[in-house]
Structures are given as structure tokens and as C-alpha cells.
Amino acid sequence: MQRMVRHSVWVTALVMTVVLTAAACKKKAPIARPTAPPAPPTSTNTVPARPPAPPEAVPEVAIVPPEPVIDSGASSGSLDELNRNSPLRPVFFELDSSDLSTEGQRVLDGNAAILKQHGTWTITIEGHCDERGSAEYNLALGERRALSARAYLISLGLPADRLRTVSYGKEFPFDPGHEEGAYAKNRRAHFVITAK
Amino acid sequence: MQMLHRTFWTILAAAVLVALPVVESRPVAQQQEIAPKISNDTIGQQPRLAVPDFLALPAMGAASTDAETADVAKTISQVLIADFEFEREFALMPKDIVSTIPAATSVNDVPFDRWREVNADGVIIGSVQKTATGVRIEMRLYSVRARQASYSREYTGAITSRRLFAHQIADEIHQQQRNLRGVARTKLSFDSDRDGDRMQNTVEKRTVKEIYISDYDGENQRRVTTQMSLNITATWSPDGRSIAYSSYRRVQPQIFISNIYQGTLEELTKPPGQNFTPVWSPDGTRIAFASSRDNNFEIYVVNRDGSNARRLTNSPGADITPTWSPTGTQIAFTSDRTGAPQIYVVGVDGLGLRQLTHESKADRATWSPAPFNEIAYAASTGPGNDIKVLELASGSVRQLTFGEGTNESPCFSPNGRHIAFSSTRSGKTQIFTMARDGKDLRQVTRSGANYHPNWSN
């Protein structure tokens, strides 16, 4: 009998554990109670109420703050004056070409003589194109024109470190026209004095 | 004893049985996935979709609807229609037919019979309601034939995000219904002279160009750079959070990276040399660009942080305007090594060089995303350029523009179904988009002159 009672206690404890575990489960996930099946749609206006997904937060339109400003370097009013009446003349090129013509070489001879007189000047040689090529390829063509002029000046004895190149492609035409007269003016190497 | 054992097992079984419905509730969740897709009765025809104005509901506790909510509701349905028209996956029901159907009074009250009469396959019913913190949008896409919701969502957010709600709904419906990655939330970048500011340190009048971004449809145009210089050829990082571009702010053009939402700036390249046309690798870890650092334009690849610059090409010609293949294993670019500029392709290991185009001149290649295996480029076709597309597998070329002004700088949308480009057809150079078959032309910019579009992911 005593064994029997002890046994009963053990079984009761086990049953309690199972019931308690079931109760604990109940807390974690709600147990579905049997309910009547939803009535079939009776009218066209009854839409099976599928629970919609929880609201999605749509982000606010992102704000684009201004970039930090970077000091762009030297700026000089007196250089502007010098460049406005620049003694350095531009060199013009044929369509799709960076070859120097005889006339172009003569202009560069003159520019070289001036640069030799002013031994402290440094210059930027800008390469420009007419509008007919694609914008991206013209960046390469403009650079080739600037480099062509630079190489000739170096061959005349000017130090390379005074001659910087920059290509503007077709970004800054001298003449905004759309005919050969304008195009011829826009295919050029242009000289800017950047230090004196 | 035996009985107690039986009692134990009975209770255990009961406990298991009580617990079972929790497990069984899962198939209910699966049922939610099975939603009827909107389709047309005629196979091959687009589903006919009606998008009536969203309902403007009174704010909680308010007696009537306010004008702002009504405006948001109207805007969302208008933008949604435009987004659907852009992808051409649905045939939008004409407005005069849609307006004959009485407006729903809630998202659950849909006169299916009436929509069936006008042959609508799907109808989107949405509502807008102001909340304490912003606005709550409820949206249901109904299959008219099945008389049940095919897709339903709720959204919350700021009232200023009104266009973004519509773009998000459009992208989700394109994905869920058509398995299509829409572009409604993508953005464009471009450079513009609209501010009219003068370049510093020049004697002639030269106008600066600044980098702008806008939504894909041209809305929300915003300036990114404020450097008063020539800033050009911007491209988006794959995560859409950074823009790389060339800037002349240090006289010689260098590549900068603008982290547009942080407002920070990085300098990717340093002198010597001019550095142009940066493009991000598909995984965003590297940037390819053209540089004259070795006294001739060549293609280089550099890590995102500026380290480990590697030269990819070696020719006496100019090698410029690189574009990555979608897998990041090849780069196509322009070279004039044989005379006129043409498009070439080379592996990122520098091997396998091959000429792709045989135009009178070709430039600005841009590789399509998968599944299209195409390269769009600008070809010289007379006085100006036109956009052409080379299909790489077959080698066939199709022309998309035909001498309406000059057409340049093509770039693909991230799903490959659209091309943005610049054109002078309406006067000054402006940004346009068109479908990949050349149809559905749309002008994106109108202020100043605008160049070099690029499309975000």
C-alpha cells in the first residue's frame, strides 16, 4: 500500500508536470479554439478577409545634405588681367586630329619665345573640341591636342614642369555656333597662365 | 497501478492533442501565399488593370476628410498609374471608364460585377488616412474574376513620402504579379549647367556643371555638388548611397566620391594625370576609370578606397569610358587604337581583348544587366550620334534613335528594360528615357542643359 501511495505521488507529479508544460506552451503560442468555419461569401461585396501583412514603414524621402566645400586652390585677380589680354595665342586643329599644322607650329614658336622671356610663368594647356564627336571621346581628343602642343613646346626647350595639360572636350566652345566656321574655332589648344 | 498508468497516458495524449492545433495553424499561413494572379482571358494579352483614386479617409476622430489627405490620395493613384505605364506590364484602364464605376467606400467594398462589366482583370483599391505620426496607406489588389484580394498591404510613413508610397506599391506589385524588378524607386544622376554659376579662375565666361539626382521619372531633382566647377559623368554605387564623378575643381579632373546621404566627400584619384568616367564594379568594391597618368588615356581599376590601382590596357591609342560586365569579369571600353573610336572588350585580368563594333565611330559603351546580354553605345551616324544596342550573343545591332538631334551617353535601368540618354532633339541637351525597343520616349529634364545620365540600382 505504501509502495502504491508512493507510486501515486510519483504519477501525480508527472501528470502535474505534463499539465504545467502544456500550460506553459499555452502561454507561448495561443491555442486555437475550434470555431465555426467562416461563412462562404454571400455577396459580391464580401471579400475573404485575408489578414493583410503588418503595415510597412515607408522611409521618408531621404535628405541630401550639401557636400563639404573644398578649397579649389589658387585664384588671382592679376592673373585674370594677364590672361584677358594674353600674349599666348591658341593653336587650331583639323577635325578628329591632334596633329600640329605648319601654322600651329609657328604659333607655338611664338608662345615658346614669350614663355622663355618670362621664366617664372607656368601655364595650363587646355585641349578643346567641336561638338560633333561624343562628349566622352572628346575628353580624350582634347587631351591629345593639349599633349601635342605640350610636346612641341618641350621640344623647343621649355621645362615640362611648367606645362600642365587639361582637357575640356566639348564642354567650353569658344563659338557656340553649329557650323564649320564655329567648329574650326573650337578645335583648339588654349593657353592659360596659372602662375607668374 | 495499471489504471494510474492509463490515466497518465490519457492526460499526456490530451495535452498533445490540445497542443496540436498550434502546429496545424501553419498551413493557414501557407494559404495566404496562394493568391490569384491578375491575368487576361486572352493568352499573351496584358492584364487590364484599373487604378481608381485612393480613398481619402477622415483622420482618427475627425468628421470629414481634409484637403491634404485628399491630395495625397490623388497623387498616389496618379503616380501608381505612371509607374505601371512605364513598365507596360499591365494595360491601364482608361480614366473615363474607371470613373463610371462608383467609388469604393472602404478597401473591402468592391463592386466586382461592375468591374467585370468593363472587362477589368484587376483593380487596385487603396485608402489614405492621417495618423498621429504621419499617414497610413491601405492597398488591395483584387482579382476581379476571383473576387478576392491578390495582394494586400498596409504602409505607414511621413505624409511627404507620398510619391514614394506609390513607387513602393508599384515595385511590390510588379514583383509579386509579374516577377519583375520594377524601377519605380530608382534614381537618375546627371550633370547640369542650370545654376548658371561661372567657373572660377577663367577669363572667358564658362558655366559650371553640378551633379544632380532625381527620381527615375524626373521628379525631386536635387543638386549634389556645390563646387562651382565642372563636375561631370557621375555614376551610382551599387548600393545607391554614393556617387563617383569627375571634377575639375583642382584644375585637372580628378575622381571624387560623394556619399550623398552622409554629406561626405572622398578623393579617389590624385594628380598626376586626368581621371575621367568612373564606373563601379557590380559588387561595389572597385572602380574602373580612364586616366592619362601614364601620358596616354588607358583604363585603370582601383579599389573603392583608392588603393591598388591597376592598369588594364596598353595601347598608343586612347582607351576610355569603361563599363563592367554584370558578372564583374570583363570590361568594355572605347579605343581609337585602330583609327576611329570603337568599342572593345577585355577581361579584368587584361586578357581576351576583342573588338566589338565596326561603326564609323562608337563611344560610351554601357553593359546591360542580366538577363539581357547587350551593350548600348553612341554611334556616329551623320552630323550627330545615335544610340545603338549590340546583342553580344548574336552580334546583331539595333538602332534606337534616328537623327533626332544628337543622342549620346546611354545607360540601362537596373532591370535592363529602359535606357536613359542625352539628346538635343528638343533644343538644349536634355536627359530622356526610352524603352529598350526605342519606344515610350520620355523627357526627364527641362531646366538648363543636362548631360551624362546614370541610373541607380
- Per-residue pLDDT of chain B in tens (457 residues, 90 and over written 9): 555 555 555 554 444 444 433 333 333 333 445 678 899 988 889 999 999 999 999 998 888 999 999 999 999 999 999 999 999 999 999 999 999 999 888 888 899 999 999 999 999 999 999 999 999 999 999 999 999 999 999 999 999 989 999 999 999 999 999 999 999 999 999 999 999 999 877 888 899 999 999 999 999 999 999 888 999 999 999 999 999 999 999 889 999 999 999 999 999 999 889 999 999 999 999 999 999 999 899 999 999 999 999 999 999 999 999 999 999 999 999 999 999 999 999 999 999 999 999 999 999 999 999 999 999 999 999 989 999 999 999 999 999 999 999 999 999 999 999 999 999 999 999 999 999 999 999 999 999 999 999 999 9
The rounded Cα B114 to chain-centroid distance in angstroms is 36
- Does B214 contact A at CB distance below 8 Å? no
Confidence grade of residue A60 (pLDDT, cut at 50, 70, 90): confident
| Cα-based torsion angle of the residue sequence B347, B353, B359, B365 in order, rounded to the nearest 10 degrees | 20
Range A134-152 average pLDDT: 95
The string of pLDDT tens digits covering residues A116-136 is 999 999 999 999 999 988 999
Confidence grade of residue A23 (pLDDT, cut at 50, 70, 90): very low
Instruction: Give pLDDT, residue A61.
Output: 75
**What string of DSSP letters covers B437-454?**
TS-S-EE---SS-EEEEE
Q: What's the rounded Cα separation, in Å, for the pair B88 and B272?
A: 48
Instruction: Give pLDDT, residue A75.
Output: 47
Taking CB atoms and an 8 Å cutoff, what residues of chain A touch B132?
A: none
Instruction: Give pLDDT, residue B28.
Output: 38
Which of B140, B149, B363 has the CB atom closest to A136's CB atom? B363
Which of A60, A70, A135 has the CB atom closest to B161's CB atom? A60
Q: What's the rounded Cα separation, in Å, for the pair B315 and B240?
A: 34
- Does B25 contact A at CB distance below 8 Å? yes
Taking CB atoms and an 8 Å cutoff, what residues of chain A touch B12?
A: 18
Q: What is the pTM of this model?
A: 0.84
Instruction: Give pLDDT, residue B4.
Output: 52
Q: Which residue has the cell 501583412?
A: A53
Instruction: Give pLDDT, residue A25.
Output: 44
Using left for φ > 0, alpha for ψ between -120 and 50, and beta otherwise, residue B88 falls in left
What pairing do the DSSP bridges indicate for beta strands B254-259 and B264-267? antiparallel
Instruction: Give pLDDT, residue B348.
Output: 96
Name the minimum distance, in Å, from the CA of B109 to any CA of chain A: 5
Query: B129 vs A47, B134, B149, B194, B221, CA distance in Å?
Result: 21, 9, 20, 38, 28
Q: What topology is assigned to B187-455 in CATH? A: Neuraminidase (2.120.10)
Taking CB atoms and an 8 Å cutoff, what residues of chain B touch A168?
A: 230, 248
Q: Which residue of A has its CA nearest to B219?
A: A61
| Cα-based torsion angle of the residue sequence A53, A54, A55, A58 in order, rounded to the nearest 10 degrees | -80
Q: What's the rounded Cα separation, in Å, for the pair B137 and B52?
A: 15
Name the nearest CA neighbour of B255 among B239, B233, B240.
B233
Q: Is it the case that residue A66 has pLDDT exceeding 80?
A: no
Taking CB atoms and an 8 Å cutoff, what residues of chain A touch B24?
A: 32
Interface predicted TM-score (ipTM): 0.84
| Cα-based torsion angle of the residue sequence A102, A104, A109, A115 in order, rounded to the nearest 10 degrees | -170
Looking at domain B39-178, its CATH architecture is 3-Layer(aba) Sandwich (3.40)
Mean pLDDT (chain A) is 79
- B2, B279, B297: best mutation site toward chain A, by most A Cβ within 10 Å? B297
- Does A27 contact B at CB distance below 8 Å? no
Taking CB atoms and an 8 Å cutoff, what residues of chain A touch B385?
A: 134
Instruction: Give pLDDT, residue B29.
Output: 36
User: Poorest-confidence range of A22-26, A75-79, B198-202, B385-389?
Assistant: A22-26
CB contact under 8 A, A11 and B7: yes
- Please state, as a whole number, how many other Cβ atoms lie within 10 Å of the Cβ of residue B329: 13
Cα three-residue angle B135-B136-B139, rounded to 5 degrees: 135
- Does B222 contact A at CB distance below 8 Å? yes
Taking CB atoms and an 8 Å cutoff, what residues of chain A touch B225?
A: 67
Task: Break chain B into its structural domains and give their ranges.
Answer: 39-178, 187-455
Q: Is it the case that residue A185 has pLDDT exceeding 80?
A: yes
Which of A21, A61, A134 has the CB atom closest to B378's CB atom? A134
Instruction: Give pLDDT, residue B363.
Output: 97
Q: What's the rounded Cα separation, in Å, for the pair B49 and B178?
A: 13
Give, for B195, the enclosing helix (H) or strand (E).
none
Q: Could you give the 3-state DSSP secondary structure of residue B302? A: strand
Residue, of B153 and A24, whose pLDDT is higher: B153
Q: What topology is assigned to A77-195 in CATH? A: 60s Ribosomal Protein L30; Chain: A; (3.30.1330)
Q: What's the rounded Cα separation, in Å, for the pair A53 and B400?
A: 42
Interface of A with B in 42-101 (CB under 8 A): 44-45, 47-70, 72-76, 79-80, 83-84, 86, 96
b/e burial code for range A155-194 (CB count within 10 A of at least 16 → b): eeebeeebbbbbbbbbbbbeeeeeeeeebbbbbbbbbbbb
The rounded Cα B438 to chain-centroid distance in angstroms is 17
Q: Is it the case that residue A153 has pLDDT exceeding 80?
A: yes
Task: Break chain A into its structural domains and give their ranges.
Answer: 77-195
Interface of B with A in 67-106 (CB under 8 A): none
Q: Which residue has the cell 551610382?
A: B236
Q: What's the rounded Cα separation, in Å, for the pair B347 and B329?
A: 6
Taking CB atoms and an 8 Å cutoff, what residues of chain A touch B336?
A: 137, 140
Q: Is it the case that residue A96 has pLDDT exceeding 70?
A: yes
Which of B148, B204, B206 has the CB atom closest to A48's CB atom? B148
